[in-house]
Structure formats: structure tokens, C-alpha cells
Amino acid sequence: MLVVDSTVTEPKSDVIAYSRFVPERTDDYTWENDKVAFRTYGPSGQEEALAGVAGSTLSSGIDLWLKRTDKSIINKWYAGHVKTPGYYHTDHGEGYDPYHVGGSRGTGGLGVWENDSLYVSKNFTTYKTIADGPLRTVFELTYAPWSLYNVEETKRITLDLGANFSKFEIMLSANDTIPNYTIGISLHENEGDYNIEENEGWFRHWEAIDDSYVGEGVVIDPQLVDSAFAHISKVPDQSNLLIITEPQDTLTYYAGFAWKKSGQVKSVKDWENVLNQKAEMIKSPLKINIK
């Protein structure tokens, strides 16, 4: 039985799931909870990147912000950046952003794999914040039609308090018969270690970043996966672990990470256990019946 007492006032907390559009840093969209934080890039950033403005990003890849506090950091770190550009690239005791996205998929970006090439969208064009917390944040990003297939894409992204993974529900349509939709994880300089567990539906990368390690991963219903492999390239930002899925109108998967320095994992085996646990949750989701 669930009982709501309207006389009880919920205490405010800075341990929250939260997201927002960030015009003070060109036009990022950034989201976080008590464990992880992510961001991706908007249309002004695209214009600046195409114009050659330093520090701008042309990418629909997903960036990772490494946290070692359960407190909300988005507003604090961007405020620091306004005063001192690049503030969040230095760890001031709560974490930082050393993760490079560039033209890669980051962790969980989408594309179409064809003729040994990955075709991707540019930056998002519009956003809509649906819920900004405190227990769950939900928002949507839309993209201009991309690739020769004129793919129309809307991402609905959900992040719950306590989760290491963002849920991606991507609404897709294309003009012609499309070969696949492909999810990527950046392999950066090909110095990390990856593992493909296609039958279980999880895919991971484990890499050294500065003085610690980060595990990145994607979890998906294995029935949706056609194949998966590591595409190794000498071209910067083009090495990705690729998960190829059958085309569908809505593609759902989870993408996330854990930073060793946060204390959430101690080893790659710990990270694989987190991925396994998430895969099991997808296979057997919790059901609550209210009578």
C-alpha cells in the first residue's frame, strides 16, 4: 500500500537527477545524477565549429563528466567556466571533464554503418526539457536529417537518481530502406581494453584516463543486436566499438560509465558486474501492481 501524507514537506537536496540547456557555454545540453554526468552539443556550437572557433565542438557524440561527489555539479562547474574558461577540465576535488569526444560517438552516440564507414548526425537542433528532477530527469533532442538516408532523429534521454546509465529511446525514420542503426563507444587512441558480450547484450570499454580508469558501456536487449565489433582506425576520433542493430522506429538502449576514482568500481571486473546486473534488469524488469 502506498500512502501520501500531504502534511509532510520533502526536504530539498542537492543530491538530485537534473538536466538543463546551457547557453552560457555556447549551447550544451547537460545532465547528471548522484553518480554520473553527461553532455552533448547544440546548434550554435556547430556553427562556431564550422567557422573554426577554438573550443567549439561539432559532434552528436555523448560526453562524460567524471564525478566523485554525489552532489549536483552542473551549475557550479559551468559558473566556474564562465569565470575561468576550461574550469571543469581541472579536478577541484569533485571531479572533472577529461573525456574527449570530438567526432567519435563518445559513449552511446548513434550512426549508420555502411561500406566500412560510420555516417552520423551533426549537433542537436532543438531541445525540450520534460522533467528536471529530483528523482528523474527526462528531455528530448532533435537533429537535422542526416546521411544519404535523410534520417530523422529524436532522442528521449532519461536518467534516474542512483543509476550509472542514461536510457536512450530514439525515435527514427528514414526516406529509404536503411541497413542498420549503429551505437558506438569511443576507443580513443586504441589503448584501452574492450569486451563484447553479444549474447548478454552488453558491451564495454575500460581505459586509463590520467591517474585512474574509466569503464564505459552500452546495454541493450540482445535480440536487437545484429553484430558488434571494434573498428580500429588511424584517423583521430574514428575508432569506435560498434553495435549494429536492425532498423526500427524506436531504438532503446542504455549507455553509461563508472570512474574508478569515484569509488563506484575498483576494477574492470567490477564494471562488468555492473553491466551484467543492468542486462539482467532489462531481461527481468521490476513490476509493481497497484490495486
Q: Specify the pTM.
A: 0.93
What are the phi and psi torsion angles at 49 (to 5°)?
A: -65, -45
Query: Which fold is adopted by the domain 18-283?
Result: Beta-galactosidase; Chain A, domain 5 (2.70.98)
User: The C-alpha cell of 246 is what?
Assistant: 536492425
Cis peptide leading into residue 85 (ω within 30°): no
CA atoms in the 13 A half-sphere facing the CB of 27: 17
What tens-digit pLDDT sequence spans the chain (291 residues)?
Answer: 444 444 444 447 899 999 999 999 989 999 999 999 999 999 999 999 899 988 888 999 999 999 999 999 999 999 999 999 999 999 999 999 999 999 999 999 999 999 999 999 999 999 999 999 999 999 999 999 999 999 999 999 999 999 999 999 999 999 889 999 999 999 999 999 999 999 999 999 999 999 999 999 999 999 999 999 999 999 999 999 999 999 999 999 999 999 999 999 999 999 999 999 999 999 887 666 666
Three-state DSSP class for 107? strand
Confidence (pLDDT) at 175: 87
**CB neighbourhood size of 182 (10 A):** 24
Confidence (pLDDT) at 187: 98
Cα–Cα dist 263/21, whole Å: 29
What residue spans define the domains of the chain? 18-283
Confidence (pLDDT) at 290: 66
**CB neighbourhood size of 4 (10 A):** 5
